[in-house]
C-alpha cells in the first residue's frame, strides 16, 4: 500500500515518464478534477489509457521505470486493457481505467480533453462528471454536487 495520497509531484513525475514513453492517456476521476483546481483530495491517481496492446506495453515499461511492482498477471492485464486495474505496489496508488463509466471511447474523450499546465492531459470536466454520475457509487454521489458547482464556476469565468 502506498504511503501517500495524490500529490501534484506524483502527477508530474507520472506525466513526464508517460510522455517519455509516448503513452496515450488522460487523467480522469477526482485526480483530473483536482488538476483543474477542484478543492478536494484523493488517495490515488486515476488514468484513462488508450486501449491497445502497444500502448499497454509502453505503460508496463513506464510503471517499471516509476518503480511499480509488476508481475506477469498484472502486465498481461495492462497489455490486454482490462476494464479496471488497481495498482497498489508502487510509490503511489494508481488506477488504470480502460473503460470508464459514461464515456464512450478514448478517442471521443481525447477530442474534448485539455492539456493543463502544459503537461497534464486531462479529460474534460464534463466527461469526469458524466463518468462519476454513471458509476453511481456512494462516494461519487457525495462529491457530485460540489463538482458540478465547480464546473459551473469554471464555465462562468471562461475556464
Per-residue pLDDT in tens (0 to 9) along the chain, 159 residues: 444 567 889 999 999 999 999 999 999 999 999 999 999 998 899 999 999 999 999 999 999 999 999 999 999 999 999 999 999 999 999 999 999 999 999 999 999 999 999 999 999 999 999 999 999 889 888 999 999 999 999 999 775
Distance CA(78)–CA(67), nearest Å, equals 16
Structural domains of the chain in order of their starting residue, each with its CATH number: 8-152 (3.30.460.40)
- pLDDT value of position 4: 52
Angle at the Cα of 85 (from 80 to 89), degrees rounded to 5? 115
Q: Are 80 and 56 in contact (CB under 8 A)?
A: yes
Structure confidence at residue 133 (pLDDT): 93
Confidence (pLDDT) at 3: 44
pTM, two decimal places: 0.93
Q: Cα–chain-centroid distance for residue 78?
A: 14
Query: pLDDT at position 136, please?
Result: 86
Would you call 96 helix, strand, or coil by DSSP? strand
* SS3 state of residue 119: coil
Amino acid at each position: 500500500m502506498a504511503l501517500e495520497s495524490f500529490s501534484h509531484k506524483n502527477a508530474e513525475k507520472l506525466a513526464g515518464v508517460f510522455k517519455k514513453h509516448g503513452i496515450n492517456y488522460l487523467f480522469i476521476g477526482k485526480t483530473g478534477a483536482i488538476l483543474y483546481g477542484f478543492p478536494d483530495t484523493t488517495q490515488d491517481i486515476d488514468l484513462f489509457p488508450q486501449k491497445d496492446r502497444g500502448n499497454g506495453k509502453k505503460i508496463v515499461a513506464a510503471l517499471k521505470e516509476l518503480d511499480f511492482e509488476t508481475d506477469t498477471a498484472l502486465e498481461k492485464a495492462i497489455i490486454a486493457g482490462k476494464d479496471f486495474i488497481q495498482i497498489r505496489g508502487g510509490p503511489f496508488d494508481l488506477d488504470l481505467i480502460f473503460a470508464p463509466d459514461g464515456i464512450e471511447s478514448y478517442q471521443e474523450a481525447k477530442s474534448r480533453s485539455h492539456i493543463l499546465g502544459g503537461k497534464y492531459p486531462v479529460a474534460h470536466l464534463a466527461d469526469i462528471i458524466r463518468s462519476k454520475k454513471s458509476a453511481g457509487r456512494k462516494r461519487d454521489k457525495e462529491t457530485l454536487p460540489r463538482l458540478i458547482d465547480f464546473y459551473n464556476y469554471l464555465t462562468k469565468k471562461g475556464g
